[in-house]
Amino acid sequence: MKANSSSHLRQPRAPGIITPNRWLSERVFNTIIGCFKRHGAETIDTPVFEIKETLTGKYGEDSKLIYDLKDQGGELLSLRYDLTVPFARYLAMNKISNIKRYHIAKVYRRDNPAMTRGRYREFYQCDFDIAGQYDPMIPDAECLKIVHEILSELELGDFRIKVNDRRILDGMFAVCGVPDKKFRTICSTVDKLDKMSWEDVRSEMVKEKGLSEEAADQIGQYVSMQGGKDLAERLLQDAKMSQSKQACAGLTDMKQLFSYLELFQVTDKVVFDLSLARGLDYYTGVIYEAILTQNGPVSAPETGEKGEEGVSVGSVAGGGRYDGLVGMFDPKGRKVPCVGVSIGIERVFSILEQKAEASAEKVRTTETQVMVASAQKNILLIFN
């Protein structure tokens, strides 16, 4: 299937989000697109559907949420699940090895909708990605700075950006005694810690996925850890973690990442959190997720519970590094290092609309600012 090879030259335009507040949607999109442009990104477009094998095997246990289309003309097709895999295919097909791109478009997931949490089967994603060879951790730090800029400008409330690294996770699993073949499935379970208690996560690992209790308990000791550069330094000296070359490489990069984040002055919002897993299979390095932390009209996302007067949402942004994905689509296996971030736009709308309702704020729904009224008949004839 051929993509529009000239689509990256298209001029950006805020998409037509279905929301009762069109003015609000335009404000949000203008904020996000403005930030992406400041960081030098150009926009591209990809088809809403892909050959099925392009999508399968990239999302771990979430692959069951892909919408399949019927076989027509001899091709098995599926609706795109996210914008990252189509982007990687686009790079490989067009032999692009260096680009900053943003893409705002609909994706589809065969999931249970939750309107109050901004969770739909058809929804928009706003993606920013950096592809190409750079000094380690500079593109990763830029993606985190972009999240910080957007969430601050949108005034959603206080937020926290959690970061981790898949190499640290895999090294942790190895030293805790998790068999290699169970890494991905255990990672998917750990990824549920933002929605489930540790006791429930432990139970799923042991009873449903056959992990030993000893291994689960060792994992529990690590995933409770949070910090910054100091935690990375401490784990490099940890008797178990230091045995894993993979974990040490991730921890060394984490120290470098926080050095750049200090230069960007965003470390007040970023925390190194070993419980962050993000279950998508294509991540190879740093991963991150932004959540709201304020109390009040909007519930804290970690609880997954609806507040007395608010909506509950999951993460409002997330992403990571995926250095091996482009090579899966290149005939010669040519790899292109990539890192990116996605803003959960419907969840942002859910929060801002709830805040507007709670403050009884009157929001304009049209651009017209003047109304002419007259008690006389035939007013149109008078003014024409």
Is the residue at 226 inside a domain?
Answer: yes
Tell me 95's DSSP state: T
Q: Are 18 and 143 members of one domain? A: yes
The string of pLDDT tens digits covering residues 274-321 is 999 986 889 999 999 999 886 444 333 333 333 333 444 568 999 999
Contact 53, 377 (CB under 8 A): no
Same domain, 173 and 283: yes
Helix (H) or strand (E) holding 170: helix 166-175
Q: 258 with 345, same domain?
A: no
Residues 52 and 101 in one domain: yes
Distant-in-sequence, close-in-space partners of 154: CB < 8 Å, separation ≥ 6:
28, 31, 348, 352
Distance from C-alpha of 284 to C-alpha of 278, rounded to nearest angstrom? 11
| CATH number, position 118 | 3.30.930.10
Contacts with 165 (C-beta within 8 Å, 6 or more apart), sequence order? 250, 251, 253, 254, 285, 286, 287
Could you report the per-residue pLDDT of 358-375, keeping only the tens digit for each?
A: 776 666 666 677 766 666
φ/ψ of residue 298, rounded to 5 = -105, 125
Q: Which of 97, 76, 95, 132 is nearest to 330 (CA)?
A: 95
| Residue 314 belongs to a domain | no
Same domain? For 52 and 184 the reply is no
Which residues lie across from 108 on neighbouring strands?
Answer: 122
Please tell me whether residues 125 and 216 are part of one structural domain. Answer: no
> Is residue 300 assigned to a domain?
no
Cα separation, 177 vs 172, whole angstroms: 9
The percentage of the chain sitting over the pLDDT mark of 90, rounded to a whole number, equals 59
For the residues 267-278, what does the mean pLDDT come to? 94
DSSP assignment letter at 119? B
Domain count, the chain: 2
360 within a domain of the structure (yes/no): yes
> What rounded mean pLDDT belongs to the chain?
84
Domain boundary among 251, 275, 293: 293
Question: In whole angstroms, what is the distance from residue 37 CA to residue 101 CA?
Answer: 9
Q: Which range marks the domain in which residue 372 is found?
A: 10-157+321-384
Based on the domain organization, do 103 and 132 belong to the same domain? yes
Q: What is the DSSP string of 284-334?
A: -SEEEEEEE---SSS--TTT----SSS-----SEEEEE-TTTGGGTSTT--
In a domain? residue 356: yes
Instruction: Provide the 10 A C-beta neighbour count for residue 383.
Output: 8
- The model carries a pTM of 0.83
What pLDDT is attached to residue 15? 53
